[in-house]
Structure 1
Amino acid sequence: MVSKKQEALHLKGVQGLIDIIHNDLSGELEKTTGELIDERRFALEELGSEISDDAQIEYSQVLPSLKMQEELQVSRQDIKDSLSKMKDRPYFGAVTIQDDDEPEEEKLYIGLNSLKDPSTNDLIIYDWRTPIASTYYASHLGRVDYEVPAVGMQSVDVKERIQLVIENGQLLDVFDSELYIGDDALQHLLVDTAKDKMKSIVTTIQEDQNRIIRQNSAQDLLVLGPPGSGKTSIAMQRIAYLLYLHRHKMNADNMLFITPNEMFGDYIAEVLPELGEASINAMTFYRLHDKLSRKYEFEALFQHIERLRTATDTTAFELKSSRKLLDAINDHVAHLSDSGIKFRTIKIKDEPFATSEELTALFYEKFKDSPIDSRLKKIQVELWPRYKEVLNKAIKERTKALKKVTSYIGTDAELEKQAVQEKTKQFRIVKNYIKQLEFVNIEKLYLDILKQLDPAVKQETLNALKNRQINYEDIAPLLLLTVKVKGLKREPGIQHLIIDEVQDYSPVQLAAISAVFSNARKTMLGDRHQLVHPVPAHALGSTALELTKSYRSTVEITEFTKSLIGNTVTESLGVHGEEVKQLSFKEFNDKLAGLDSESVAIIARDVAHVAEVAAKLPDVMLLSHDQYTFTKGKVVMPNYMSKGFEFTHVFILDYNLYDKKQDRFLLYTMASRATRHLYLVEADQ
């Protein structure tokens, strides 16, 4: 039987130890900081302003030692800060185990970070990411297996598992739990998950979620599950786990989260710091268009969705998002070593610098025995001396012209410097053209591939390119060709990618992502049914880890969302709440006016509808497609922007105008944003 009194005494003891370690570390920090300052001051005073060769050698020998001491100082400060946070909640659970080789049971306390007793060097708190802590997340007592990296599977007998609710250093409750979501402990923690931003789920990780979080990082991982199954939260805990597991060869800068919209990075920004890790960078797929030529105007995702919703013919989009196009691109690139590459003539002031015919001859004749990317690099090497020669000639001519000016405009040296600056700036475009291999006509290659597949789509695309327009669905194939042909624009430093809402990505988009981040393994998360795009073109494989339990919303909301798509698989494990309600627009206005909550979503049809609704409602905020900061309060957003977020109250406007069959997946996505209250609002008459 779990004793709350005994656990409270244990907590006091641990907090006392934390205080001792914290105070000792504070004193050590104060002392070593003073010593470091003195060493720096002494080194500077000894060297003075005039640094002789001998002094330089001496100083170069001192610097590494100072740098090491400063890094150690930073590490001590980080530990001190961590201890300050740890005192408020040192741990959140405990598991009592018995090893076959040990006669006595051992009780392990599980927290966000490990803590050692400095007098014995024994661990008194285990980081939740340690292998043995995995036993805490098993859903049963008795025999539990867990994996130790580089060692293999281990087995222990789990005798007891308890969950401790600790806030601000006070033990509020203790639960004897087998970590099923219906337990009182977890229901206590999941009263309402919809806060202003996403939080860590480390204290409520379930066995199936734990298994995914700790999956081997040496292979790509696809996780599918319904709304509220914790997919995004799992991704964040998995990032923290991988950073812990590979802490000597990977840090936050080696990871990237590809998010469904610009706000999502801010929405998830607090999770990793809460777990003691630095936040990783986040970006949308659309931002990869920065790797393409800036002479074009690129269609944003929201423009793309709204265009296709009113389009009478979606043939071009379907082709450009298909496996058929991906296969054609790969096949075309494979044959470029023999024929088919297209070059642009490089010009300087309308004069040919290198013609397309000349570049073709270099590629297919002079350098024909080298791989494609090597041939292009060799062409670069061939062009650089010519570029420098032309630049130097232009500088000399400009210098000569300046010197002929009859009035005084500077000394000869100043005029030469002016000429260099002017011509270097003027020729910078040509320099970058060569450096970025812009003489390779990627757009023409793309058009050639489209012509083979559908001449009408090719012509439509050509017309857009002539108008300097690139549609959203053209970004991926152009980017893929750029990387595969030029060998540029790769991001080798990224070792792991998290791709959320992966069902929204076409085969071509996923291939482009893989090409850019060629060294990265991927954790991909999605739901086959959460679709807001009017013409779905996802590339989900059949091999996936499937989650079937939904924890987030009330049972009533989850059952409603299931009814929209005929889902009989998802198991609702949330709390009970009020039924889904239908409201007139007037009732919606009255309800909204009396609602005191900072987690309210008013979901409109599109950007125009958002503006129309916002003009009628006081004290609401608009969420736009290019907004980078997640805003809490009463927010109005177009339906396709609601993905990934969760809100306590959700109002779906114009619900009666949706086609319940054609729009069932869109309605399912919107309705599942609600955690506690869902309202279906009729159109304003």
Structure 2
Amino acid sequence: MSTPVHDDPLSKERSHLASSRSALRAMREDVESLDITDVTANWVNAAVLEHQIEQRIKALADLSDTPLFFGRLDYLHAPGAEQAEGGEGERFYIGRRHVHDADGDPMVIDWRAPVSQPFYRASKKDPMDIALRRRFGYTGGELTAYEDEHLSDPGEAATTSKLLQQEIERPRVGPMRDIVATIQPEQDEIVRAGLAGSVCVQGGPGTGKTAVGLHRVAFLLYAHRERLARTGTLVIGPNKSFLHYIEQVLPALGELTVHQATVDDLVAHVEVRGADDATAAVVKGDARMAEVLRRALYSHVTLPTEGVVVVRGSRRWRVPAYELEEIVRELLARDIRYGAAREALPQRVAHAVLVQMERAGEAPDDRVQNAVARNAAVKAWVKAVWPQVDPAKLVLRLLSDPDFLAEHAEGVLTEDERKAVLWVKPARSVKSARWSPADAVLIDEATDLIERTHSLGHVVLDEAQDLSPMQYRAVGRRCSTGSATVLGDLAQGTTPWATRSWREALDHLGKGEAVVEELTAGFRVPTDVIEYASRLLPHIAPGLTPVASIRENPGFFEIRTAEAGTADVVAACRELLEREGSVGLIVADARVPELADALGAAGIGFIGPGEETTLTTRLTLVPASLAKGLEYDYVVLDEPQAVVDGEPDERTGLRRLYVCLTRAVSGLIVTHGTDLPPQLA
């Protein structure tokens, strides 16, 4: 006997999905129909309100291939008073955004709401007052399956969710997607950590640290929207390819206001056209350079030896040199920004003049003090004692003038270190200089010494292990009054100045109080692949806990000898393209042109890292130096030893290889014509 349609649970859930989509469409239409013609007083307010409405319409978009809800919670009792949405035994559908009906009753609850938290954290041991947790499975945008866990039923054993496992292992084509349906308890704790504190997440490949950081931003915007709307949020990634890869995650969660940038973007005060060798870059990136810059900047301040005479009408007022010296010393002792002190200086001198006026029986007011501060004699004195300094010119002189550098680096940098950072061919001007990325960071430090950098409410820093101490300082300035989420993996540090410990890095960032969390459960990389790559850990990051893959599918993993050279590499790519999903061919940077020619000759189309994949072009040719942070369903890794040899030293090369080995989600083929690195034996 068949079950009536109205009693079929799947039919009921599909009906609720259709009703929810209809309600979301109505919410969007309500916003679109708003008439602001007579609401605003001027065109500026009208433009702001119109922009806000446009953003709200975009946030209410119903993405056809994105499930509107992915779970359901049936509570045993009403949630707490602070979660006033429900009554006793109420049911909540958990999704990417809030949806309500015409009466304002919720049809879908935002995954970030407190009432949604048990979906991620409830268990048999701690059911959190949940009778039933239901997960939904989708094919495209159609609801096709469901799976129930009776958390409060002691007679039902805990089982691994098949739908959860399928979602984790689902092939990935195109940019990174959100993980709201698969967030695990240890990830959820980090995502929902408060705004006041900073968090550092150490996570090996495939542990979801990037996703955790992005979802933390989305959660903080939900919980502290008004505050962060004023102060701003920023996601910092290692390169443009990485940012392009992650750029759709937050919009898919309805968050459209988060800015993204690289560290180079933050410090783009000059055009970068040059490059440093490793030795120079390490010294320039050392935190000691901040002290060298501070000394060089304040060397421009001179103690006055003569007084200042201010003429007003028929009277002459003289501030003696000793009193002016006290003013200068007091400002130096206050440790305020160079520019702020310079702006305060004329007012201090003017105040000294006003004191004399009052002693002489006059009654000057603020207007008189401001006039004295603008007096030509006072301005000339300030210019001589505390001159304006251009930060780029300051750095230019330090890197070009050996005597100037030696004077201000005395006791800070060794003679060899000073020689390493000096330019062989000094530039004549800021515009003609061939600035390197490390030079731009020095200019940013000098700029902040002169004028305080604007601070944001929250900053997410991803792939942080590759930053120099000076780069950490540059990022820290952007969240000096806010908080930060730092994400990285010490084993994947591939720069000569890579982070040695998170505590050291956090101190440079100015967030020494941050909590360090470690993610060790691997959701992305197959078991066989991560176990193979983990052979490198004792050589690149001894002491780190290896990632333990929780995937049931061990993955596709082969090591092949490329006897026919590039022809065998091309054949491996062609084989993987017959499977569903994206394919990445990762090669040592020096071998990119050769492999590009081979693919072209074989008639196989390919794109570069960060470019959009299509149904006809699913192969990406990835230089090893750009592989970090990216992922593909299947990867062909060409010549591991060439990847190692492409770096300045073996340790860095092995770390680069570790990164390349762990980019695969479903399968990996390693091809080699030369011997594999002995560390993989």
The corresponding residue for 1:133 is 116
Using the TM superposition, name which of 534-543 and 663-672 deviates more: 534-543
2:97 to 113, 133, 145: 113
Question: Aligned pair count?
Answer: 561
2:454 to 480, 491, 508: 491
The corresponding residue for 2:487 is 525
Instruction: Show the 5 A alignment for 1:591-610.
Output: 591-596=572-577, 599-606=582-589, 608-610=590-592
Indicate the SS of the match to 1:143. Answer: coil
The corresponding residue for 2:163 is 185
Deviation digits for residues 169-215 of structure 1 (CA, Å, limit 9, x no counterpart): 63211112499995211122123353211001001111111111001
- Unaligned ranges ≥5, structure 1: 41-59, 145-155, 309-313, 344-360, 391-432
* Cα shift at 1:464: 4.2
Are the counterparts in 2 of residues 91 and 110 from structure 1 also a CA contact under 8 Å? yes
Instruction: Show the 5 A alignment for 1:46-85.
Output: 77=57, 81-82=60-61, 84-85=62-63
Deviation digits for residues 249-271 of structure 1 (CA, Å, limit 9, x no counterpart): 22498111111111112111111
Instruction: Identify if the C-alpha distance between structure 1 residues 178 and 591 changes in structure 2 by more than 3 Å, giving closer, same or farther.
Output: farther
Are the counterparts in 2 of residues 558 and 572 from structure 1 also a CA contact under 8 Å? yes
Are the counterparts in 2 of residues 196 and 599 from structure 1 also a CA contact under 8 Å? yes
The corresponding residue for 1:55 is none
1:633 to 595, 609, 618: 618
The corresponding residue for 1:397 is none
Are the counterparts in 2 of residues 601 and 637 from structure 1 also a CA contact under 8 Å? yes
Indicate the SS of the match to 2:69. Answer: coil
The corresponding residue for 1:458 is 418
The corresponding residue for 2:530 is 558
Indicate the SS of the match to 2:225. Answer: coil
Instruction: Identify if the C-alpha distance between structure 1 residues 182 and 530 changes in structure 2 by more than 3 Å, giving closer, same or farther.
Output: farther
The corresponding residue for 1:616 is 598
Deviation digits for residues 523-567 of structure 1 (CA, Å, limit 9, x no counterpart): 110111012225534452285100010010221111111223247
The corresponding residue for 1:394 is none
Instruction: Show the 5 A alignment for 1:544-555.
Output: 544-555=516-527
Deviation digits for residues 447-499 of structure 1 (CA, Å, limit 9, x no counterpart): 64444321222133223471434444444344223312x125x233x221111
Instruction: Identify if the C-alpha distance between structure 1 residues 601 and 367 changes in structure 2 by more than 3 Å, giving closer, same or farther.
Output: same
Letter aligned with residue 454 of structure 2: E
* Cα shift at 1:321: 3.7
2:9 to 1, 6, 10: 6
Are the counterparts in 2 of residues 599 and 633 from structure 1 also a CA contact under 8 Å? yes
The corresponding residue for 1:480 is 445
Instruction: Show the 5 A alignment for 1:295-306.
Output: 297-299=273-275
Query: Partners of 1:560 and 1:517 in 2: how far apart?
Result: 39
The corresponding residue for 1:56 is none
Are the counterparts in 2 of residues 256 and 497 from structure 1 also a CA contact under 8 Å? yes
Are the counterparts in 2 of residues 477 and 508 from structure 1 also a CA contact under 8 Å? yes
Indicate the SS of the match to 2:109. Answer: strand
Letter aligned with residue 286 of structure 1: D
1:570 partnered with 2:560 = no
Letter aligned with residue 473 of structure 2: A
Instruction: Identify if the C-alpha distance between structure 1 residues 178 and 269 changes in structure 2 by more than 3 Å, giving closer, same or farther.
Output: farther
1:504 to 466, 475, 486: 466
Instruction: Identify if the C-alpha distance between structure 1 residues 169 and 617 changes in structure 2 by more than 3 Å, giving closer, same or farther.
Output: closer
* Cα RMSD, aligned residues only: 4.3
1:675 partnered with 2:665 = yes
Instruction: Identify if the C-alpha distance between structure 1 residues 520 and 443 changes in structure 2 by more than 3 Å, giving closer, same or farther.
Output: farther
Instruction: Identify if the C-alpha distance between structure 1 residues 262 and 101 changes in structure 2 by more than 3 Å, giving closer, same or farther.
Output: closer
Instruction: Identify if the C-alpha distance between structure 1 residues 638 and 133 changes in structure 2 by more than 3 Å, giving closer, same or farther.
Output: same
> TM-score, normalization: structure 1?
0.71
Letter aligned with residue 588 of structure 1: V
Are the counterparts in 2 of residues 557 and 675 from structure 1 also a CA contact under 8 Å? no
2:181 to 198, 203, 207: 203
The corresponding residue for 1:376 is 342
Are the counterparts in 1 of residues 23 and 100 from structure 2 also a CA contact under 8 Å? no
Using the TM superposition, name which of 95-104 and 279-288 deviates more: 95-104
* Cα shift at 1:25: 6.9
1:541 partnered with 2:544 = no
The corresponding residue for 2:22 is 19
Indicate the SS of the match to 1:670. Answer: helix
Query: Partners of 1:262 and 1:88 in 2: how far apart?
Result: 25
- Unaligned ranges ≥5, structure 2: 1-5, 81-86, 152-157, 303-321, 348-371, 381-386, 399-403, 428-432, 505-514, 539-543, 676-681
Query: Partners of 2:200 and 2:474 in 1: how far apart?
Result: 17
* Cα shift at 1:128: 0.2
Query: Partners of 2:161 and 2:555 in 1: how far apart?
Result: 17
Indicate the SS of the match to 1:463. Answer: coil
Query: Partners of 2:245 and 2:293 in 1: how far apart?
Result: 41
* Cα shift at 1:622: 6.2
Instruction: Show the 5 A alignment for 1:307-326.
Output: 307-308=277-278, 314=279, 316-322=280-286, 325=288
Are the counterparts in 2 of residues 652 and 671 from structure 1 also a CA contact under 8 Å? yes
> TM-score, normalization: structure 2?
0.71
The corresponding residue for 2:639 is 654
The corresponding residue for 1:229 is 207
Are the counterparts in 2 of residues 182 and 573 from structure 1 also a CA contact under 8 Å? no
Letter aligned with residue 568 of structure 2: E
Letter aligned with residue 448 of structure 2: V
1:664 partnered with 2:654 = yes
